[in-house]
Chains A and B, each alone.
Chain A
Amino acid sequence: MTFPKINLVVIGHKDHGKSTLIGRLLYDSNAISEQKLQEVEAELKKAGDEGFRFAFLLDTLEEERRGRLTIDIMQTPFRTEKHLYTIIDCPGHREFMKKMFTGASQADAALLVVSAKEGIQDQTKQHAFLVRTLGIQQLIIAVNKMDEANYEEVRFKEICNDLVPILSSLGYRNPPIVPLSALKGENVFKKTRKMPWYRGSSLIETLDRTVRPLAPPIDKPLRACVQDVYEIDGKKIVVCKILTGILEEGEVVNFDPSGQAGLVMKIEMFGKEIEKAGSGDSVGLIVNELREAKRGQVISHPQNRAKVVRSFVSDIVLFSGFQLRNNDVLVIRCGTAENECKVQGILERIDPINLTLDAKSPEVLNSGDVGRILFSPLKPMCVEKYSEFPELGRFVVEGKSGTAAAGIVLETETAEVN
C-alpha cells in the first residue's frame, strides 16, 4: 500500500507556535526517535528550560536552540491514517523570507498558524498572501494557543471573523479553521473535550479529509523540457523531463521556440525497454530529422503546441537585496530555459502585509515587494500560464548572487510562430 505523499508548509507570524505545533505532530505520531527525544531533554535540562519542548525537537542548529528562532527549513515526515506528510517548517521572522519561499515552493498545501492570544499579525497576512502568489491552492488554518484564551468560543469566532474576509480576498474560500493547543496537545490528533462548542474535527482529521496530493497531469497536453543532449555510441540522445502528458515512440513532436519538428524514433531509459513515457519521467529521446536539439527547448505535439510568447504578465516576489525598475533587462529561468526579458511595465505594487494596492504603475519595486509585471523576452521564449502548466508557468530571476526573485505567469501573449 502506498500512502499519498503531501508536502505541507507551515506558515504564520513569529512565536505563534509553528515549531511547537510541528513538534507536537511529530511527537504524537511517533515520528521522533527515542534518541532524539533524550537528546533534547538532556539539552533542556542543561539550559534549565521546560517550556519550548516540542519546538526544540526541530531546532537542531545551535543558533536556533539558543535563539529560539527557526532559522532554516527542515523537511520532516510523519504518517497519519491516510497520508504521508512531509512538513516544511517556515521561519516567521521578517529576515528569513528566502527560506520561506524555498519551503513554500516545495509544498502542496499550507498550514497557517495563528495565535488565539495575539490574533492576526503582519506575517499572518503576509505569508498567506505569499503562498497564494507562489501558487499554493490548498490552505488550512490552525488557531493555536487556545489554552491561553481559556478555550473560549468567543475568541475563536473573533479570529475567524477577522480571517475569513482576508483569505477570501486572496482566493481561499472556506478554508477549514481548527482551534487547538499545540503545547497541551488539545485537538491536534484527537478531538478535544476542552472545547465542547467546536463541531469540527481535530487538525489531523481535517488535514486528512481536506488536503489532496496534486494529481499527476497525465491528461494534459504534452510538455517536456530538454535538459541536455548526450552523445553515446555515436547516437545523439536528447535528454528531457516530461512535465505533462504522454509521449510515445513514433510520434512527431515540435521543439520550440525553434519551431523544428522531429520524429521520436526511440525512447531510452537505462536498463528498461519502454515505448511511452509520461509526466514525471526523465528520459532520453532519439529523434530523426532534427536539425538541432538543445537545452531549454520545450517539446510538444503539433496539435497542441507550446506557447512561444511575445510578452507575459506575472506576479513576482522580490527577495531581499534586489530591486527592479521599468526597462530593466533581467535573466529569467523557466523550465530549463534561460532568457533575457525586459520589464515592459510594472503594473502594480502590492503591499504584502496590508494586501492593498500600493501604487498603480510604480517606477520601482523594492526588496520584499510583490508586484505585477509585464515582461517581454528579448528573444523568442516558451512560457505557459501557471494555471495550465505550472512547471512552465513559474520562474526565477537570476541576480548577481543567485535567485533574486520568483514569479508565476498569469497571462501570455503569443508571438507569431514559424
Chain B
Amino acid sequence: MSRHNVNDEYLEGLEKKSIAIIREAKAQFSNPAALWSTGKDSTATLWLCKKAFFGKVPFPIIHIDTGRKFPEIYEFRNRLAREWDFHLIIARNEEAMKKGVSAEKDRFECCTLLKTQALKNLLEKEKFDALILAIRRDEHGIRAKERYYSPRDEDFKWNYEDQPAEMWDLYVKPSEDFSHMRVHPILHWTELNVWQYTKREKLPVNPLYFANNGKRYRSLGCQPCTVPITSNAQTIDEIVKELETSRIPERAGRAQDKEKAYMMQKLRSLGYM
C-alpha cells in the first residue's frame, strides 16, 4: 500500500474531527463509556478523550479481559489507569472461563463468549447507552463499512444491510430502537496515522509492539491467537519505516480474521468490536 508523509496540520485535522465526534457522544448520550484494549488505537483514542474533556475523562473506560492476554497488557493497563487517572472497569465472563472455553477448542465460540458476551453482561448491568471504540476503516474490509455512529440492537446485532443514513456530521441520535450506539472517533485514521500521532503526542506504547529477539506484534489480540511478525523495529520511527514498505496487512497475525471466510463479519454482526 502506498503511504504518504504527513505533517502536523494533517494530524491536527484528524484529531479535531475525532474530538468533535467524542464530544458529540457525551452531549447526546446520558451514559457513555469507552473500550480500551491497551493497544495503540484505543490508547490514542483514550488520549483523544482526555483532550476532549480537558484532562479528565468523565465516563468509565472498559477493559475486556479474556484472561488470556499477554502479561505486558495487564502491566500496561494498570500503570496507565493510575497515571491517567480514569475510572477503569474490567469486564470478564467468569462463567465461561470456569467452563474452560478456549480458542484451542473453538475460536469463534471463544471470541464470542469471552469478549462479546463479557461486554453484553457488563452493558446489561451498567446500562451504557454509547460505547466509544477505536476501530478504523483500513483495518479490515468489514470495518470499512462502518459509520461514525452505528447502532446496535437488543441482541447486539449489527444490521449492516440497513444502517441508518449518516448525513454530514449530524450523527444518529439515541433511540429506543437500539440498545446502544457504537461511536468510532478514529474511523478515518490509518494505521500509519495512529503511529504518527502516538509519536507526536509522546503517548506510552505497549512494549509488545517493539521487536524482541527479531519478533514483534503488529496487532495485539489474546496470547493464543496472536502471531508475531519478523521484525527488528524497536522505535516508532522504525515501525513507521517498516509499514511504509510492507504490503502485508496489519491484522495478518490475527487468527479470527482468517479462519472461515467472513468470520469477522459474522462476529461483528453478533456484536463484536
Contact = CB atoms under 8 A, between A and B. Distances in A.
A60 B170 contact: no
Interface stretch (A96-104, A198-206, A354-362): A96-104
Interface stretch (A68-76, A177-185, A304-312): A68-76
Given A35-B249, A60-B142, A280-B13, A84 B167 contact: no
A239 B188 CA distance: 23
A98 B144 contact: no
A137 to B, nearest CB: 15
Contact of A284 (B16, B54, B173, B175): B54
A193 to B, nearest CB: 26
Contacts of A270: 50-55
Interface stretch (B69-77, B121-129, B157-165, B212-220): B157-165
Contacts of B27: 227-228, 295, 336
A62 B142 CA distance: 10
A280 B24 contact: no
Interface string B1-42: 110111101100100100110011011000000000000000
A319 B54 contact: no
B265 interface: yes
Contact of A61 (B1, B23, B142, B169): B142
Interface range, A side: 35 or more
A152 B53 CA distance: 61
Contacts of A396: 167, 170
Interface stretch (A123-131, A365-373, A398-406): A398-406
B216 to A, nearest CB: 19
Interface in A325-378: 333, 336
B5 A282 contact: no
Contacts, number: 144
A264 to B, nearest CB: 17
A281 interface: yes
Contacts of B144: 60, 74-76
Given A2-B9, A34-B247, A63-B161, A228 B173 contact: no
Contacts of B137: 74-76
A112 interface: no
Nearest to A60: B141
Contacts of B164: 98, 401-403
B2 A99 contact: no
Contacts of A43: 261
Contacts of A406: 165, 167
Contacts of B56: 232
Interface stretch (A25-33, A143-151, A409-417): A25-33
Interface range, B side: 35 or more
Contact of A282 (B23, B26, B142, B160): B23
A1 interface: yes
Contact of B175 (A32, A239, A402): A402
Given A227-B23, A401-B175, A73 B2 contact: no
A141 interface: no
A51 interface: no
Contacts of B252: 35
Contact of A79 (B2, B170, B172, B188): B2
A403 B169 CA distance: 12
B265 A61 contact: yes
B99 interface: no
Interface in A24-77: 29-36, 43, 60-63, 71-77
Interface in B115-135: none
B98 interface: no
B172 A402 contact: yes
B104 interface: no
A79 B190 CA distance: 14
A287 interface: no
A336 B6 CA distance: 31
A79 B168 CA distance: 24
A401 B5 contact: no
B84 interface: no
Contacts of B248: 33-35
Contacts of A79: 2, 4
B147 interface: yes
Interface string A72-89: 111111110000100000
Contacts of A35: 247-249, 252
Contact of B51 (A1, A271, A403): A271
A241 interface: yes
Given A60-B144, A401-B175, 17 more contacts: A36-B141, A36-B249, A61-B145, A63-B161, A72-B163, A75-B137, A77-B190, A98-B164, A232-B53, A237-B54, A271-B51, A280-B16, A282-B20, A333-B170, A391-B168, A401-B164, A401-B177
16 contacts: A1-B7, A30-B2, A31-B1, A35-B252, A62-B261, A72-B163, A75-B144, A98-B164, A105-B167, A228-B27, A230-B53, A232-B54, A394-B168, A403-B165, A403-B167, A406-B167
Interface of B: 1-2, 4-7, 9-10, 13, 16, 19-20, 23-24, 26-27, 50-56, 137-138, 141-142, 144-145, 147, 160-161, 163-170, 172-173, 175, 177, 188, 190, 247-249, 252, 261-262, 265
4 smallest CB-CB distances across A and B, nearest first, come from A60-B141, A402-B164, A98-B165, A270-B51
